[in-house]
Amino acid sequence: MSSMSFRGLVLLVAMGLWGIAGSAQSSGTGAPASASAATPRVQPAAPVQPVSSAKPAATAGGGGQQSSTNQDESVATIRKTVNEVNVVFTVTDKHGHYVKDLKKDDFRFMDDAKPAEEVKDFRNQTDLPLQVGLLVDASNSVRDRFKFEQESAIEFLNQTIRPKYDSAFVVGFDVTPEVTQDFTDNTESLSRGVRLLRPGGGTAMFDALYFACRDKLLKAPRGGPLRRAIILLSDGEDNQSHVTREEAIEMAQRAEVIVYTISTNISGMKGKGDKVLERIADATGGRAFFPFQLRDVANAFAEIQDELRSQYAVSYKPADFRTDGRYRTIEIVAMDRKNLHVRSRRGYFAPTQ
Question: What is the reported pLDDT for 138?
Answer: 87
Residue 197 has pLDDT above 50, yes or no: yes
Q: Which band of pLDDT confidence, cut at 50, 70 and 90, is reported for residue 54?
A: very low
Question: What is the reported pLDDT for 334?
Answer: 96
Alpha carbons 227 and 128: distance in angstroms, whole number: 7
Alpha carbons 209 and 137: distance in angstroms, whole number: 11
Using alpha carbons, select from 304, 312, 157 the residue that is nearest to residue 225: 312
What is the per-residue pLDDT across 252-296, written as a single tens digit (0 to 9) for each? 999 999 999 999 887 778 889 999 999 999 999 999 999 988 788
Number of residues that make up the chain: 353
What is the per-residue pLDDT across 148-194, written as a single tens digit (0 to 9) for each? 889 999 999 999 999 999 999 999 999 999 999 999 999 999 999 99
Question: What is the reported pLDDT for 257?
Answer: 95
What is the per-residue pLDDT across 100-135, written as a single tens digit (0 to 9) for each? 999 999 999 999 999 999 999 998 866 778 999 999
Alpha carbons 331 and 219: distance in angstroms, whole number: 27
Averaged over 206-220, what is the pLDDT? 96
Domains of the chain: 38-82 (no CATH), 87-123+312-349 (no CATH), 130-309 (3.40.50.410)
Neighbouring CB atoms inside 10 A of 159's CB total 12
DSSP 118-184: EEEEEEE-TTS-EEEEEEEE-SGGGGGGHHHHHHHHHHHHHHHPPTTT-EEEEEEESSSEEEEEEEE
Higher-pLDDT residue of 301 and 16 is 301
Question: What is the reported pLDDT for 73?
Answer: 44
CA distances from 1 to 4, 6, 10, 18, 301 (A): 8, 7, 13, 25, 103
Averaged over 44-66, what is the pLDDT? 36
Q: Which band of pLDDT confidence, cut at 50, 70 and 90, is reported for residue 9?
A: very low
Using alpha carbons, select from 46, 47, 28, 48 the residue that is nearest to residue 38: 28
Please count the CA atoms within 13 angstroms of the CA of 117 that sit on its side-chain side: 8
Alpha carbons 253 and 258: distance in angstroms, whole number: 8
* 308 DSSP assignment: H
Q: What percent of the chain has pLDDT over 90?
A: 54
Q: Which band of pLDDT confidence, cut at 50, 70 and 90, is reported for residue 141?
A: low
Judge contact between 162 and 199, C-beta under 8 A.
no
Q: What percent of the chain has pLDDT over 70?
A: 75
Question: What is the reported pLDDT for 143?
Answer: 67
DSSP 77-131: EEEEE---EEEEEEEEETTS-B-----GGGEEEEETTEE-SEEEEEEE-TTS-EE
Instruction: Provide the pairing of β-strand 311-317 with 85-93.
Output: antiparallel
Alpha carbons 98 and 305: distance in angstroms, whole number: 12
Alpha carbons 128 and 312: distance in angstroms, whole number: 10
Question: What is the reported pLDDT for 142?
Answer: 64
Question: What is the reported pLDDT for 226?
Answer: 81
